[in-house]
Amino acid sequence: MAAELIEVTGMVLTASPVKEYDKRIELLTKERGRISAFVTGARRVNSAVSACAIPFTFGTYRLYEGRSSYNVQSAQIKKFFAGIADDFDTLCYASYFAELARYFTRENVEAPDELLLLYVACSAMTRGKISLPLVRVIYEMRMMQIEGEALELFQCLGCKTSQGNLRVYFSRGGFLCDSCAAKFMSEQREKGYRLSPDAVYALQFIVTTPLERLFTFRVSEQIEKELSEFMTHYYEHYLHHTFQSLAFLESLPY
């Protein structure tokens, strides 16, 4: 039976050399989630397909579906983020975003939101209007929401009040007021994470704004720091995974 030709919209997450002239890429696709594909001749000089095998390239890929992997027949590149590879800091962040996207996606589970989030994050980084650490906060927060791990940050999980002293209890999945915390958390050691009103507002914006308009706000340096620290606690609580690319990120002077 001849291999079937399919068309997908996607972005290259990783690329590695295979044999003398080929590459294997991991593609985050809207239709089929994260798939791996071979690009024959990608490393040949003047190859027509070499550009489509570079990380963070976005486009329409025509693939032959083989028994255990795909082969790229051709690609129509719609966006190539040249600014990513040119700047070491941006590349470190982008690599971490790609690694997070890899962690949360798999083959044959469509990933339109993850793909769009990665795309708009790459666009925001190359435009350079908001800081890289803030792009990271937004990306991480929104990714958790896409994956169904969002925190309740609008009202108390117990009594539904949005007034008074609300703190985040990661083990409960969001805000609790003081009296609900006393009721529910009496036997647990979790103290509750206090966020400033500006930080709460920023996080609420991140989980409610359409993806296309997500990277349009800025915060003070102090709030950015507060949000970054909060995300670190949030991720430590929910994801017990060491991301390789974080080692590079943590070596950056922020």
Task: Return residues touching Zn ion (CB under 5 A).
Answer: 156, 158-159, 177, 180
| Cα distance between residue 247 and residue 165, in whole Å | 36
Q: Which is nearer to Zn ion, 112 or 158 (CB)?
A: 158
**Shortest distance (Å) from residue 243 CB to Zn ion:** 34
How many CB atoms sit inside 10 A of residue 220's CB?
A: 9
Nearer to Zn ion, 162 or 204 (CB): 162
C-beta of 8 vs 180, nearer to Zn ion = 180
Instruction: Output 158 or 173, the one with its CB closest to Zn ion.
Output: 158
Q: Is 112 helix (H, G, I), strand (E, B) or coil?
A: helix
Min dist. Cβ of residue 152 to Zn ion (A) = 11
Tell the residue number behind the tokens 């647990």, with chain if given. 188
Residues 6 or more apart in contact with residue 249 via CB below 8 angstroms: 92, 93, 96, 136
> Nearest distance from residue 233's CB to Zn ion, in Å?
21
128 vs 164 by CB, closer to Zn ion: 164
CB 23, min distance to Zn ion, A: 54
Choose between 188 and 216: whose C-beta lies nearer to Zn ion. 188
Whole-number Cα distances in Å, 6 to 47, 64, 70, 78: 22, 6, 10, 18
Provide CB contacts within 8 A for 203, sequence distance 6+: 141, 151, 153, 195, 227, 230
**Whole-number minimum distance, CB 246 to Zn ion, in Å?**
35
Burial 40-52 (b: 16+ CB within 10 A, else e): bebbeeebebbeb
Minimum gap (Å) between residue 167 Cβ and Zn ion: 11
